[in-house]
């Protein structure tokens, strides 16, 4: 009887050693915070660039002139090298469309949304950002 219990115990321990469950680590909250801060910094940088005309900022001026691709590229240029993104714009209650030199997300992404009042229109400006090149 003791031999059977010992044999069972050895078999059980051998199988638990051979079979290992690979459980991935949960995503870090710091990763999401870094993405959020990168998007916020890009937003602040775009709003701080002075316009050549009477607009509040260069971003305002580009939206007034209908240069959606240039406005989104201005935002995307403010992202750090380890973060890439897409820029989505919608005017008033219209559908959001992607503009600028974006890319396909690699892994998890985070979206950051802002409203911008430009000459009587309300623009929804969304940045979808993700880590690349070891930034996670």
* Position 102 in a domain: yes
In angstroms, the Cα distances linking 102 to 37, 83, 87 are 19, 11, 7
Q: What's the CATH number where 44 sits?
A: 3.30.1140
Indicate the number of domains in the chain: 1
Residue 11 lies in a domain: no
- In a domain? residue 7: no
- The model's pLDDT over 80-94, given as tens digits with 9 standing for 90+, comes to 999 999 999 999 988
> Is residue 35 domain-resident?
yes
d(CA 136, CA 132): 7
**Within a domain: residue 91?**
yes
- Examine the pLDDT at 136 and tell me if it is beyond 60: no
Q: Give the tokens for residue 51.
A: 């316009």
Task: Classify residue 111: in a domain, yes or no.
Answer: yes
Domain that holds residue 51: 29-131
Task: Give the mean model confidence (pLDDT) for residues 108-124.
Answer: 91
**Residues 22-75 pLDDT 10s:** 666 666 777 788 899 999 999 999 999 887 877 788 999 999 898 999 999 999
């Amino acid at each position: 009887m003791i031999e059977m219990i010992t044999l069972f115990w050895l078999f059980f321990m051998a199988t638990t050693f051979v079979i290992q469950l690979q459980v991935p680590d949960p995503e870090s909250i710091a990763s999401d915070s870094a993405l959020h801060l990168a998007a916020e910094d890009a937003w602040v940088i775009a709003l701080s660039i002075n316009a050549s005309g009477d607009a509040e900022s260069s971003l305002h001026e580009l939206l007034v002139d209908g240069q959606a691709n240039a406005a989104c590229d201005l935002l995307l240029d403010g992202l750090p090298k380890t973060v890439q993104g897409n820029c989505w714009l919608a005017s008033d209650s219209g559908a959001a469309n992607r503009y600028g030199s974006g890319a396909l997300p690699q892994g998890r992404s985070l979206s950051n949304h802002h409203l911008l009042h430009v000459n009587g229109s309300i623009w929804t400006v969304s940045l979808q950002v993700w880590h690349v090149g070891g930034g996670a």
